[in-house]
């Protein structure tokens, strides 16, 4: 039996905001409630999207909110060898192939799937004459991926029809998020993934990759999306506003309320550690069953 292990995996594209604090706290409580470890992985795999100083700001903000991780932070920018080894394995067993298609070509012919155009298989049997490789794609076999999400319930996806052969190495040479996450979750011994619902449609691809690479499958729980009072997704301004660590106790209280763990009045203004300790013993994802959106309290 592996020790339970959860993780928070922020992309350093901006400061910690309410939505990312929700994912941090949700994953933290789930891990600690199971007596497990909680790790932080900085997903700085996409240099064009990395914002200077964001990773440090996120880590400081986590500490200010009482969210102390185990061990060292893992940085995806340091993990290229591991990703390329996984890619090489997929190449050796014939599961990936080079693709010459541009975004524009695909947009013109492909039908829409759960996450952009479904790859129509143009380069599956080989590059068209005169064309050269851009990205590398995973050959996705027909079949269903089923999993039980601890919050969103039973999930089913046919990756072949919902996304098609998906990219594992991008045209700019960077490793795709889906592959990096799967390699890192296995490397770090992650047994439970708690994250935002925006990644729910990625999960079947990740499970599919775990099967291709013979890696264990963690348990999954996807937290509700934060919306405004009218049910609309938070805009860039409201959704991405940096949390003020000076208001850590209040920020935590808001997030705990979203998680159906409203602290009692006597804990208002309590230090982050006290609030988190109170919440760990009460963590109950079943209380969030089916909740896919939640207004910001």
Q: Which is nearer to ligand GLU, 123 or 181 (CB)?
A: 181
Output 9 or 279, the one with its CB closest to ligand GLU: 9
What is d(CA 176, CA 232) in angstroms, rounded to the nearest whole number?
29
For residue 162, what are its two tokens? 């919902």
Q: What are 294's two structure tokens?
A: 């939640």
Nearer to ligand GLU, 123 or 179 (CB): 179
Largest CA-CA distance found in the chain, in angstroms, rounded: 72
Which residue lies nearer to ligand GLU by CB, 18 or 181? 181
Shortest Å, Cβ 207 to ligand GLU:
12
- Report the nearest approach of ligand GLU to the CB of residue 269 (Å): 30
Nearer to ligand GLU, 123 or 180 (CB): 180
**How far, in Å, CA of 226 to CA of 295, rounded?**
6
- What is the rounded CA–CA span in Å between residue 37 and residue 80? 25
CB 82 within 8 A of CB 183: yes
Of the candidate spans 5-13, 47-55, 150-158, 265-273, the one that interacts with ligand GLU by CB under 6 A turns out to be 5-13
**Residues numbered 31-60 forming contacts with ligand GLU, rule: CB under 6 A:** 43
Q: What is the DSSP letter of 173?
A: S
Say how far residue 195 (Cα) sits from the centre of its chain. Answer: 6
Is the CB of residue 252 less than 8 Å from the CB of residue 259?
no
Cα four-point dihedral sign 248, 250, 252, 254: negative
Residue of 4, 5, 6, 9 interacting with ligand GLU (CB under 6 A): 9
- Measured from the CB atom, the residue of 14 and 66 that comes closer to ligand GLU is 14
Q: How far is the CB of 12 from ligand GLU (least distance, A)?
A: 9
Q: Is 195 in the site for ligand GLU (CB under 6 A)?
A: yes
Distance between CA atoms of residues 18 and 242, nearest Å: 8
172-191 residues in contact with ligand GLU (CB under 6 A) are: 181
Spatial CA neighbour of 208 closest among 164, 246, 149:
164
Q: Which range of residues in 7-15, 67-75, 124-132, 249-257 is near ligand GLU by CB under 6 A?
A: 7-15
Residues that bind ligand GLU (CB under 6 A): 9-11, 43, 181, 195, 199
């Amino acid at each position: 039996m592996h020790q339970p292990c959860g993780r928070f995996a922020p992309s350093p594209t901006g400061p910690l905001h309410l939505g990312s604090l929700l994912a941090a706290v949700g994953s933290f409580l789930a891990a600690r409630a199971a007596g497990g470890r909680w790790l932080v992985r900085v997903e700085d795999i996409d240099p064009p999207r990395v914002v200077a100083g964001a990773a440090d700001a996120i880590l400081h903000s986590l500490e200010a909110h009482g969210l102390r991780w185990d061990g060292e932070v893992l940085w995806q920018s340091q993990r290229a060898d591991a990703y390329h080894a996984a890619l090489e394995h997929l190449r050796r067993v014939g599961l990936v192939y080079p693709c010459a298609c541009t975004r524009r070509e695909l947009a013109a012919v492909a039908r829409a799937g759960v996450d952009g155009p479904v790859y129509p298989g143009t380069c599956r049997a080989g590059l068209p004459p005169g064309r050269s490789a851009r990205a590398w794609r995973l050959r996705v076999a027909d079949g269903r991926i089923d999993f039980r999400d601890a919050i969103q319930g039973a999930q089913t996806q046919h990756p072949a029809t919902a996304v098609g052969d998906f990219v594992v190495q991008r045209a700019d040479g960077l490793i795709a998020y889906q592959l990096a996450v799967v390699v890192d979750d296995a490397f770090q011994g992650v047994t439970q993934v708690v994250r935002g619902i925006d990644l729910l449609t990625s999960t079947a691809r990740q499970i599919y990759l775990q099967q291709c690479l013979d890696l264990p499958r963690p348990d999954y729980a996807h937290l509700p999306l934060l919306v405004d009072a009218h049910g609309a997704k938070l805009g860039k301004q409201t959704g991405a506003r940096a949390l003020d660590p000076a208001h850590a106790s209040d920020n935590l209280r808001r997030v705990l309320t979203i998680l159906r763990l409203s602290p009692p009045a006597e804990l208002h203004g309590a230090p982050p550690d006290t609030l988190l300790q109170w919440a760990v013993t009460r963590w109950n994802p079943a209380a969030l069953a089916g909740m896919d959106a939640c207004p910001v309290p």
